Amino acid sequence: MVSLKATLITGRTIDQGVGKELGKGSKEYYDSAAICFLNKADIIKLGLKGRAKVRVTSKYGSVILKAAKFPRGNMPSIVFIPCGIWANALCGDDTYSMGMPLFKGFPVEVEPALPTDPVLTLDELLKEQYGRNSL
Amino acid sequence: MTEISNVVCPICGCLCDDIEITVENNEITKMKNGCAVCEAKMVHGYKSDERILKPMIRKDGKLVPVSMDEAVHKAAKILTDAKYPLLFGWSSTVGEAQRIGVELAEELGSALDNCCSVCHGPSVMATQEIGIPAATLGQIRHRADLIVYWACNPWTSHPRHVERYTSFTDGRFEGSEWKSYMQKLKAESGRKKMEMASKRITRITPPDRPQVCFTGPPPQTMQKPGRKMIVVDVRKTMTAEAADYFLQIEPNKDYEIFEALRCIVNDQELDVDKVGGVPVDSLKDVGEALVNCNFGVIFFGLGLTQSAGRFRNIEIAIALARDLNRKTKFIISPMRGHFNVTGANIVFAWQTGYPYALDFSQGYPQYNPGENTAMDLLRRGDNDATLVISADPGAHFPKAAVQNMIKHPIITINPDMNAISRLGDVVFPTQWCGIEYAGTAYRMDSVPITLKKVVEPPPGILNDEELLTRILEEVRAIKAEKGDVKPKEKLKIPAKPSRPAKVSKVVAKPKKKVTKKEVKK
């Protein structure tokens, strides 16, 4: 299967900010945070079409996300995931004695996911990762 | 229907204080002047279905509603039974509650940390290393003629920052660049239409842009009079689109580029063609703009603190500002995220001497980022209980850290059901700061601003300050029962902050004349 070695950047988007304030269980938050933005050339390279999903894997974990084209400019071999539980499934907790884990600029591998692979909701992901949620 | 003006927005570090709100039947129905995120919270989010209305305790794996007394006792019992609890969060609550938090940490001998440790903690460390040239946002608004946004995207994280404090605001000495931005947008839109039309006529697909970080020569707008905005980032953001010059750099290369700019500013030669994916000629253009401005400011974001180099990135950025101050006036400022994360640093500092990463296990405050910071405690598994207030490490901490956190009891104090409340063992509801109760918050430039109360909270819900006070009293009572300490008298909560009353003229009393006899005595 085709895969892409890329650098992951996590950060804020305005939609994620709005979704967060509407509630972490809201559809707006899920739509805006469980998403992976890729460069146009990388989308073509991975053969992603329409409402495709990708599996993003790092040294620390793996998560399935909706794929989307990064709307502005060129961003070669960089993937962007908005802040949230989905992005943090990929981040490590090593702080190099500075209190701050590496949230940006670490290597990940991106590959196309099957159409049947689910993009988990907040409660589903909490259950999978921590074995509990509010339900 | 009541209209309330000059309401302070309790979301990001900008603390916009010009929000106009319409309240009908104790509900906010309309909001003016705020950004999209402000509207989401103040009109819809604060009363959403996610709101917690009753305290809950996890029993047999499920959260069950209980009385406030039972929840307070359970939380206090968890905290007193624990050998080394961690109290974390504090960035989205008011200074009055943070003060009680420090007292609780001291009583428990616990670790105390705020969200700063996973956002601008490295900026605090760098500031302690070499200091920081700073100014208030008001000074920047009126005087700055060069704005540099480095590794941050205020268009999404601080949506009104550019509009209120920098390029798009009319200052006393510097005008707004809004019109010039609109012209640029129109020109860009026209260019895209022409491209689309030419594609239709010729049916030839233009080649993709080269797959390298592309930084062209500075556009003509860099030569215009008035304010200029430079954006440095690894990707083209909305803020970068509004900039006069955008410098796209490779990830994790900020330190090298700052060092190269320092060389250029200090008239030293660089013997390479590119630094961090940026041609040296482009860096020289930026260096020239930095030196030639009258009053410049670098705003930096989490792109520096959360990537490789961390506090060294900030240190070198401050060193650049220091070098520039030999040639012109330059300041540097972090883009603080949560509305009172600056306040958490300030309150902790005036209470204990240190801004974050505190340890009270010896009975007095000790400060050591990298050891006492929440992430390191969780990584090592040192703490055996966690109290989280006004934060969501469940969604914003790496998975491994949260996996360690849930091995021990978690107490949460949040108004709505965020990820950490969903994982909590004792879940408290609380009032929304700045909507349902008033208090003090510190803007990103350390200016204190009083948040307003605009609606009444749902019945039975305490605010952070009242709730923490009750937990603290219960902790003291349990410790007294155990014979640990004598019970202290009930905490007196100071009156809510209010505007100072007008001071009437004080007539100075004439000084008594001192006689020679009195002097001799």
Residue A106 has pLDDT above 70, yes or no: yes
Residue B205 has pLDDT above 70, yes or no: no
Yes or no: say if B147 and B297 are a contact pair by the CB < 8 Å rule.
yes
- B301: containing domain: 122-202+209-334
pLDDT-derived band at B208 (thresholds 50, 70, 90) equals very low
In a domain, B36, yes or no: no
In a domain, B421, yes or no: yes
Q: Which residues pair with B114 in a beta bridge?
A: B89
User: Domain of B327: which CATH number?
Assistant: 3.40.228.10
Which amino acid belongs to residue A72? Answer: R
- Residue A30 is classified by DSSP as H
- Residue A111 is classified by DSSP as E
Q: What is the mean pLDDT of residues B188-212?
A: 66
pLDDT-derived band at B302 (thresholds 50, 70, 90) equals very high
Which residue in the set B36, B378, B398 is minimally distant from A91, CB to CB?
B398
Domain check: are B127 and B260 in the same one? yes
The reported pLDDT for the residue numbered A73 is: 80
Q: Is A93 within 8 Å of B378 when comparing Cβ atoms?
A: yes
- Residue B51 is classified by DSSP as B
The reported pLDDT for the residue numbered B497 is: 55
| Distance, C-alpha B148 to centroid of its chain | 19
β-pair type (B410-413, B56-59)? unpaired
Tokens of A116: 């049947």
Kindly state the greatest CA–CA separation across chain A: 43
Domain check: are B310 and B455 in the same one? no
Distance CA B435, CA B441 (A): 13
β-pair type (B278-279, B62-65)? unpaired
Distance CA A106, CA A59 (A): 9
Percent of chain A with pLDDT over 70: 99
Is B399 part of the contact surface with chain A (CB cutoff 8 Å)?
Answer: yes
Yes or no: say if B423 and B416 are a contact pair by the CB < 8 Å rule.
no
Judged by average pLDDT, the poorest of A91-95, B64-68, B96-100 is: A91-95
- In B, residues 187-206, which contact A (CB 8 Å cutoff)? none
A2: three-class secondary structure by DSSP:
coil
Domain check: are B380 and B322 in the same one? no
Yes or no: say if B423 and A132 are a contact pair by the CB < 8 Å rule.
yes
Q: What is the mean pLDDT of residues A30-35?
A: 97
β-pair type (A4-11, B448-451)? unpaired
- In B, residues 419-478, which contact A (CB 8 Å cutoff)? 419, 421-423
- A84: containing domain: 4-130
Domain check: are B377 and B452 in the same one? yes
Percent of chain B with pLDDT over 70: 89
Distance CA B319, CA B373 (A): 26
From chain B, pick out residues whose CB is under 8 angstroms from the CB of A99.
117-118, 121-122, 357, 369-370, 373-376
Burial profile B7-25: b = 16 or more Cβ within 10 angstroms, e = fewer: bbbbbbbbbbbebebbbee
pLDDT-derived band at B201 (thresholds 50, 70, 90) equals confident
Domain count, chain B: 2
User: Domain of A91: which CATH number?
Assistant: 2.40.40.20
Q: Is A60 within 8 Å of B400 when comparing Cβ atoms?
A: yes
Domain check: are B147 and B255 in the same one? yes
From chain A, pick out residues whose CB is under 8 angstroms from the CB of B305.
100
In a domain, B102, yes or no: yes
pLDDT in tens, B417-466: 999 999 999 999 999 999 999 999 999 999 999 999 999 999 999 999 99
Q: What is the mean pLDDT of chain B?
A: 90
Burial profile A64-75: b = 16 or more Cβ within 10 angstroms, e = fewer: bbbbbebeebbb
Domain count, chain A: 1
In a domain, B492, yes or no: no
- Residue B143 is classified by DSSP as H
pLDDT-derived band at B48 (thresholds 50, 70, 90) equals very high
Residue B507 has pLDDT above 80, yes or no: no
β-pair type (B358-359, B329-334)? unpaired
In a domain, A20, yes or no: yes
Domain check: are B146 and B115 in the same one? no
Question: At a CB cut-off of 8 Å and minimum separation 6, what does A89 contact?
Answer: A61, A62, A63, A125, A129, B399
In a domain, B495, yes or no: no
Does the interface ipTM go beyond 0.90? yes
From chain A, pick out residues whose CB is under 8 angstroms from the CB of B45.
21-23
Nearest chain B Cα distance for residue A66, angstroms: 18
Q: Which of the two residues, B498 and B72, has the higher pLDDT score?
A: B72
Distance CA B357, CA B370 (A): 8
The reported pLDDT for the residue numbered B209 is: 43
In a domain, A37, yes or no: yes
Domain check: are B470 and B371 in the same one? yes
Domain check: are B306 and B159 in the same one? yes
In a domain, A135, yes or no: no
From chain B, pick out residues whose CB is under 8 angstroms from the CB of A74.
209, 211, 214, 236, 248
Where among B297, B313, B334 does a domain terminate?
A: B334
Sequential DSSP letters for B366-407: EE-TTTSSHHHHHHHT--S-EEEES--HHHHS-HHHHHHHTT
The pTM is what? 0.90
From chain B, pick out residues whose CB is under 8 angstroms from the CB of A92.
398, 400
Is B249 part of the contact surface with chain A (CB cutoff 8 Å)?
Answer: no
Where among B450, B466, B482 does a domain terminate?
A: B482
In a domain, B489, yes or no: no
In a domain, B400, yes or no: yes
Which residue in the set A14, A25, A132 is minimally distant from B50, CB to CB?
A25
B12: three-class secondary structure by DSSP:
strand
Domain check: are B94 and B228 in the same one? no
Distance CA B248, CA A75 (A): 9
Burial profile B476-510: b = 16 or more Cβ within 10 angstroms, e = fewer: bebbeeeeeeeeeeeeeeeeeeeeeeeeeeeeeee
Q: What is the mean pLDDT of residues B237-266?
A: 94
How crowded is the C-beta side of B232, counted as CA atoms within 13 Å? 29
Q: What is the mean pLDDT of residues B140-146?
A: 96
In a domain, B30, yes or no: no
Checking phi first, is residue B295 left (phi over 0); if not, alpha (psi -120 to 50) or beta? beta
Distance CA A65, CA A50 (A): 14
User: Domain of B375: which CATH number?
Assistant: 3.40.50.740
Yes or no: say if A81 and A31 are a contact pair by the CB < 8 Å rule.
no
Domain check: are B282 and B198 in the same one? yes
How far lies B293's CA from each of B144, B145, B163, B231, B476, in Å?
9, 6, 21, 16, 58
Q: Which of the two residues, B514 and B164, has the higher pLDDT score?
A: B164
Where among B334, B364, B398 does a domain terminate?
A: B334
Burial profile B428-455: b = 16 or more Cβ within 10 angstroms, e = fewer: bbbbbbbbbbbbbbbbbbeeebbbbbbb
The reported pLDDT for the residue numbered B211 is: 37
Yes or no: say if B156 and A13 are a contact pair by the CB < 8 Å rule.
yes
Which residue in the set A14, A99, A122 is minimally distant from B376, CB to CB?
A99
Q: Is A133 within 8 Å of B305 when comparing Cβ atoms?
A: no
pLDDT in tens, B148-183: 999 999 999 999 999 999 999 999 999 888 878 888
Distance CA B409, CA B386 (A): 6
B515 CB-contact burial (10 Å; exposed 0-12 / middle 13-18 / buried 19+): exposed
Domain check: are B316 and B354 in the same one? no
Is B375 part of the contact surface with chain A (CB cutoff 8 Å)?
Answer: yes
Question: At a CB cut-off of 8 Å and minimum separation 6, what does B307 contact?
Answer: A102, A103, A104, A105, B151, B251, B252, B254, B313
Domain check: are B360 and B421 in the same one? yes
Distance CA A69, CA A116 (A): 21
B113: three-class secondary structure by DSSP:
strand
